[in-house]
Structure 1
Amino acid sequence: MADAASQVLLGSGLTVLSQPLMYVKVLVQVGYEPLPPTLGRNIFGRQVYQLPGLFSYAKHIVKVDGRAGLFKGLAPRLCSSAIGTVVHSKVLQRYQEAEQAEPAASKKEPVSSLEQVLKETSREMVARSAATLITHPFHVITLRCMVQFIGRETKYSGTLSAFATIYREEGILGFFAGLIPRLLGDILSLWLCNMLAYLINTYALENGVSTMTEMKSYSQAVTGFFASMLTYPFVLVSNLMAVNNCGLAGGLLPYAPTYSSWLDCWSQLHREGNMSRGNSLFFRKVPAGKRYVWEERRFR
């Protein structure tokens, strides 16, 4: 119980610290560009037109809404983080209890390292999926609270009132907008991360060497970053579907068309070359073949 409480407190702290980053990222994902490109230099020293990065974007939000404006959507996100941590912990605890309850005679011989990785990854997948399924309504409310910045709306002003608004306008399914690509992205990222780490630790790094042992400790982080990069389009599509056609300016034209499904959203983003929009908040290049429209605060 103490472990779960400490995990909730740690997760809540990280959520608060990362809120401004997520806020800016979501607005960029939607396509909102309140500041025009400026002439700067890339990492090679060449002059290029760049879009404002994280800090410039955050300063603009502070200028409009004050410092507190950077934390819009924090309350439902904290709820999501806390509930998700508890659900994830409980599911894994159930697996451990079931394993300990097995009779000694029925327990199998020691399994191979690959079987152990498959077993642990499967359990982690179930735990993460359960947490995502239960907390997704809070995730949807978080995103919509953030996107309100674009049209200066106050439709989703509180967590409880947001639940009532979504249920009244969209029914139960409204709470799960964008759930499928989010689940798929989480599952693919988890399996890619763990299997790549296993392959690297087993075949690329030799045992018994101190430097190799240290490298193995970092392999999970490296493969996790690589997996998240590969599965980023699922995150983008999920977030866009969560706000699509919800009555907010950020979910309607000119920022986003009305997508018939997440597959339709995926295909349109792919055609436009926008599958990585919002993936980087530094050294942001101006989209090729696009022009900035000041009145709409976007590229088209």
Structure 2
Amino acid sequence: MADTCGQILLGSGLTVLSHPLMYIKVLIQVGHEPLPPSLGRNLFGRQVYQLPGLLAYAKHIVKIDGKAGLFKGLAPRLCAGTIGTVVHSKVVQVLGSQQKAGDGSLQYVVNETAKEMIARSSCTFPLQIIKMLKSKSVLSGVLDSIFTVYREEGILGFFAGLIPRLLGDVLSLWICNLLAHLINTYAIDDSMSHTGEIRNCSQAVTGFFASMLTYPFVLVSNLMVVNNCGLAGGLPPYASVYPTWVDCWRHLSREGNMSRGNSLFFRKLPAGKMYAVDQKRFF
């Protein structure tokens, strides 16, 4: 119980610190571009039109909604994180853990990864929907968001984007753990100095690599949350309406826009795209 409380407190602190960044990232993912592109230079010194970066976007939000605007949607995100941590902890306890020092066999990695996959998949998804809509709309509160989702889409609305989210999480977990196992087994010798630190670093690197590979699943999931949800930002002309998440994936692939929102610093203007959306009308 003490460990779970500690995880909740640590997770809540990190959530508060990272929320402005995640808020801006989600807005960009769903196509909210309130500022026009400007002429700048890319990494090679060539002049190109670029969309505003993180700082410019944050300044615009502060100008419109004040500093508190950067923390819109924080409450449901904290709720989702707390419930997710508790559920994850309980599922791990039920499944049991084979903590064996020095056990780095492939079978051990597969077993532990399978348990972690079940634990993550068990976390409450409906609150993910609430925090998304609360972050990107003028809804007055969490209950208002819940009523809006239910009124527009019924009970299934709380599970919009679930399939790509689960696929992305599962693939990311397996890629990360199996790659880390291969590196730790075949590339790192126990006789090397600072072996533990090197292995921790390899886990972090493989985790970053896995998240990059599976990013399109996160993007598609977030787009399906706002897809035809009753808010202006999920309807034409600001957004296309997709019958299924597969149609959304295909549309983004044709546009070459599967990495939208993956970078908040160097954002090249997609060919043939112009953005000039007023924040007050978007959601």
- Structure 1 vs Structure 2 CA RMSD: 2.0
Task: Report matched runs for 1:198-277 at 5 Å.
Answer: 198-277=181-260
User: Partners of 1:293 and 1:232 in 2: how far apart?
Assistant: 23
**2:274 aligns to what?**
292
Q: Is structure 2 residue 136 aligned with structure 1 residue 147?
A: yes
User: Partners of 1:178 and 1:62 in 2: how far apart?
Assistant: 29
Structure 1 unpaired stretches of 5+: 101-109, 149-153
User: Partners of 2:247 and 2:224 in 1: how far apart?
Assistant: 10
User: Partners of 1:81 and 1:213 in 2: how far apart?
Assistant: 29
Query: Given the superposition, is the C-alpha separation of residues 258 and 79 from structure 1 closer, same or farther in structure 2, using an over 3 Å criterion?
Result: same
Shift of 1:161: 2.5
User: Partners of 1:73 and 1:295 in 2: how far apart?
Assistant: 21
Query: Given the superposition, is the C-alpha separation of residues 165 and 227 from structure 1 closer, same or farther in structure 2, using an over 3 Å criterion?
Result: same
Number of aligned positions between the proteins: 277
Query: Given the superposition, is the C-alpha separation of residues 252 and 213 from structure 1 closer, same or farther in structure 2, using an over 3 Å criterion?
Result: same
Q: Is structure 2 residue 40 aligned with structure 1 residue 40?
A: yes
User: Partners of 1:160 and 1:64 in 2: how far apart?
Assistant: 24
Shift of 1:162: 1.9
Shift of 1:45: 3.4
Answer yes or no: is the 8 Å Cα contact 2:24–2:57 preserved in 1: yes
Where 2:96 maps in the other structure, the secondary structure is: helix
Where 1:39 maps in the other structure, the secondary structure is: strand
**1:120 aligns to what?**
112
User: Partners of 1:6 and 1:212 in 2: how far apart?
Assistant: 28
User: Partners of 1:274 and 1:64 in 2: how far apart?
Assistant: 28
**2:53 aligns to what?**
53
Answer yes or no: is the 8 Å Cα contact 1:147–1:248 preserved in 2: no
Shift of 1:295: 5.8
Answer yes or no: is the 8 Å Cα contact 2:33–2:275 preserved in 1: no
Where 2:260 maps in the other structure, the secondary structure is: coil
User: Partners of 1:70 and 1:295 in 2: how far apart?
Assistant: 18
User: Partners of 2:264 and 2:252 in 1: how far apart?
Assistant: 19
Give the greater-gyration-radius structure (CA).
Answer: 1
Query: Given the superposition, is the C-alpha separation of residues 178 and 198 from structure 1 closer, same or farther in structure 2, using an over 3 Å criterion?
Result: same
Q: Which moved more, 1:170-179 or 1:40-49?
A: 40-49
User: Partners of 2:106 and 2:277 in 1: how far apart?
Assistant: 56
Shift of 1:286: 1.2
Q: Which moved more, 1:230-239 or 1:22-31?
A: 22-31
Structure 1, residues 246-268: CA drift from partner, whole Å, max 9, x if none?
Answer: 11111011222111011111111
Answer yes or no: is the 8 Å Cα contact 2:160–2:224 preserved in 1: yes
Query: In structure 2, what residue type is equivalent to 1:292?
Result: M
Where 1:294 maps in the other structure, the secondary structure is: coil
Q: Which moved more, 1:237-246 or 1:47-56?
A: 47-56
Q: Is structure 2 residue 5 aligned with structure 1 residue 13?
A: no
TM-score under structure 2 length normalisation: 0.92
Identical pairs, percent? 68
Give the one of 145, 149, 161 matched to 1:178: 161
Shift of 1:211: 5.0
User: Partners of 1:216 and 1:175 in 2: how far apart?
Assistant: 39
Answer yes or no: is the 8 Å Cα contact 2:180–2:202 preserved in 1: yes
Answer yes or no: is the 8 Å Cα contact 2:113–2:174 preserved in 1: yes
User: Partners of 1:226 and 1:112 in 2: how far apart?
Assistant: 21
Answer yes or no: is the 8 Å Cα contact 1:254–1:296 preserved in 2: no
Structure 2 unpaired stretches of 5+: none
Answer yes or no: is the 8 Å Cα contact 2:52–2:267 preserved in 1: yes
Query: Given the superposition, is the C-alpha separation of residues 14 and 273 from structure 1 closer, same or farther in structure 2, using an over 3 Å criterion?
Result: same
Structure 1, residues 50-109: CA drift from partner, whole Å, max 9, x if none?
Answer: 211111101000000000011111111110000001111111112228x79xxxxxxxxx
Answer yes or no: is the 8 Å Cα contact 1:167–1:174 preserved in 2: yes
